[in-house]
């Protein structure tokens, strides 16, 4: 693990996530996030939060993360807790056992995918269609798969030979057809994802990203693969050397976001979040909401991308990670692990004041508001913090939108202008203020 030295202080995260030389400056944003002593969660502060045996007092870290982010050298390790991969009450040995079990589970999932399509796990990936919608294989698969058998390792060549029927015979299983239909789109997205980073100059890293997305599409068949998932998964590939660890971290993020990617009939899941955004804006900034409705933007489709990929396109790579971890720290629920694993959670009456400190600031506010609302009609689960982040961006641009937007094209242009100029910390602080205002007015 990379050690933290004084020379790291004040450095931007570009120092850790190197940009390819000669990249078009239009494609690269300058990172605003700086590593700051006393604010950024350091390795020393992180280690000090663990008790003998391995249990973690994560409450000691949440405010530090919110105010100063996480040092890149420990980012992957901290994210696993923020995303609920591990119970903060678990011991070192228990976490090692869980990690080992998950790696075996991922290996089995990957073997299943490789048996259906041998390019998975070969170190290569595809960018061309491999199957027709009716299950017929695309002819001349070696050419159309965008790969070369001579460059595939011997063990994978044998797998291709043994499974030639999967490339020649018609497929009848609807789930397998659906999965294979997604593989080429995953490949097309992989070669476009974070193309400015040196990390993805290596073919092995591109193949690793494709493998994780392909396996996830089979693992979560209800959602499969949707454009934008590669942007969410890419940082996991960079942060975790072990592919299985990257997969399970991505899987935890997708538990929060999968509803956005679920398609039913003619609708996309993110539309529900756009409706939530409209409701929030109507409550806290009615003048702006009426103006957007007048322009035909009452459906808030202009915010589609921000919600789908969590500001990956509006921020520099390092700043997007900073925004994510601030958001996850604010939303943190110490019982996430039990919720995900199907274990028991505390009853409301059992949650002590000391235990409440283990919740993120946003999660605490929602719990407090729910307690006040007892006896009133049920309002459903708390909104994801990303809704308030977008509302914060709209508020920041509200004067410009009100004065200059005369049509939806103007709205899109004004919001596109934030790309490369957005301050993640400022937006996060603004989102908390809007959330507080929203709870009072709804």
Range of the domain at 349: 267-441
Q: Which residues pair with 34 in a beta bridge?
A: 12
β partners of residue 264: 267
pLDDT digits 0-9 by tens, 49-58: 999 999 999 9
Cα distance between residue 242 and residue 106, in whole Å: 11
Same domain membership, residue 177 and residue 83: no
Give the chain's domain count.
3
d(CA 331, CA 354): 17
- pLDDT above 70 coverage of the chain, percent: 82
| 33 and 175 inside one domain | no
Give CA–CA dist 64/55, Å, rounded: 19
Q: Give per-residue pLDDT as tens, 74-92.
A: 999 999 999 999 999 999 9
Is the predicted pLDDT of residue 433 greater than 90, yes or no?
yes
Question: What residue ranges in 327-395 does DSSP mark as E strands?
Answer: none
| Whether 298 and 388 share a structural domain | yes
Segment 13-42 mean pLDDT: 77
Residues 291 and 166 in one domain: no
Could you read off the pLDDT of 274-331 as tens digits, one per residue? 999 999 999 999 999 999 999 999 999 999 999 999 999 999 999 999 999 999 999 9
Instruction: Compute the distance between CA of residue 17 and CA of residue 197 in angstroms, rounded to an integer.
Output: 7
- The answer to whether the pTM exceeds 0.85 is yes
Q: Write down which residue in 63, 92, 121 finishes a domain.
A: 92
84 and 101 within one domain? no
User: What is the Cα–Cα distance from 87 to 78, expressed in whole angstroms?
Assistant: 12
Q: Looking at 234, 257, 280, which one is the last position of a domain?
A: 257
The two structure tokens encoding residue 226: 């949707």
**Residue 354 confidence class, pLDDT cut points 50, 70, 90:** low
170 or 105, higher pLDDT? 105
């Amino acid at each position: 693990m990379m050690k933290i030295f004084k020379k790291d202080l004040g450095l931007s995260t570009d120092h850790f996530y190197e940009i390819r030389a000669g990249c078009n400056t239009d494609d690269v944003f300058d990172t605003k996030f700086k590593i700051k002593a006393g604010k950024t969660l350091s390795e020393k502060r992180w280690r000090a939060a663990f008790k003998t045996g391995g249990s973690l007092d994560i409450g000691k870290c949440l405010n530090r993360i919110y105010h100063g982010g996480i040092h890149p050298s420990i980012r992957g390790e901290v994210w696993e807790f923020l995303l609920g991969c591990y119970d903060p009450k678990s011991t070192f040995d228990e976490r090692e056992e869980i990690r080992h079990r998950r790696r075996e589970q991922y290996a089995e999932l990957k073997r299943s995918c490789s048996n259906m399509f041998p390019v998975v796990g070969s170190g290569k990936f595809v960018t061309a269609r491999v199957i027709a919608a009716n299950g017929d294989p695309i002819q001349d698969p070696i050419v159309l798969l965008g790969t070369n058998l001579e460059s595939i390792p011997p063990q994978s060549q044998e797998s291709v030979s043994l499974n030639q029927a999967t490339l020649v015979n018609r497929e009848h299983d609807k789930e397998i057809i659906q999965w294979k239909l997604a593989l080429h789109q995953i490949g097309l997205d992989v070669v476009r994802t974070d193309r400015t980073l040196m990390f993805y100059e290596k073919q092995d890293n591109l193949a690793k990203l494709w493998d994780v997305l392909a396996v996830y599409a089979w693992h979560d068949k209800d959602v499969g693969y949707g454009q934008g998932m590669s942007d969410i998964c890419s940082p996991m590939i960079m942060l975790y050397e072990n592919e299985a660890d990257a997969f399970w971290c991505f899987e935890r993020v997708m538990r929060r976001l999968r509803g956005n990617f679920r398609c039913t009939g003619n609708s996309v899941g993110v539309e529900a979040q756009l409706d939530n955004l409209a409701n929030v804006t109507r409550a806290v900034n009615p003048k702006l909401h009426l103006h957007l409705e007048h322009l035909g933007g009452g459906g808030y489709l202009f915010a589609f991308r921000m919600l789908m990929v969590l500001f990956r396109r509006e921020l520099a790579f390092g700043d997007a990670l900073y925004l994510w971890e601030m958001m996850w720290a604010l939303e943190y629920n110490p019982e996430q692990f039990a919720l995900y694993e199907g274990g028991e959670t505390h009853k409301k009456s059992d949650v002590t004041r000391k235990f409440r400190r283990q919740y993120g600031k946003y999660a605490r506010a929602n719990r407090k508001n729910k307690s006040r609302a007892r006896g009133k009609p049920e309002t459903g689960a708390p909104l994801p913090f990303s809704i308030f982040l977008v509302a914060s961006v709209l508020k920041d641009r509200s004067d410009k939108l009100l004065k200059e937007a005369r049509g939806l094209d103007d709205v899109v242009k004004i919001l596109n202008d934030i790309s490369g100029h957005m301050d993640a910390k400022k937006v996060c602080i603004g989102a908390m203020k809007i959330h507080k205002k929203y709870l009072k007015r709804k």
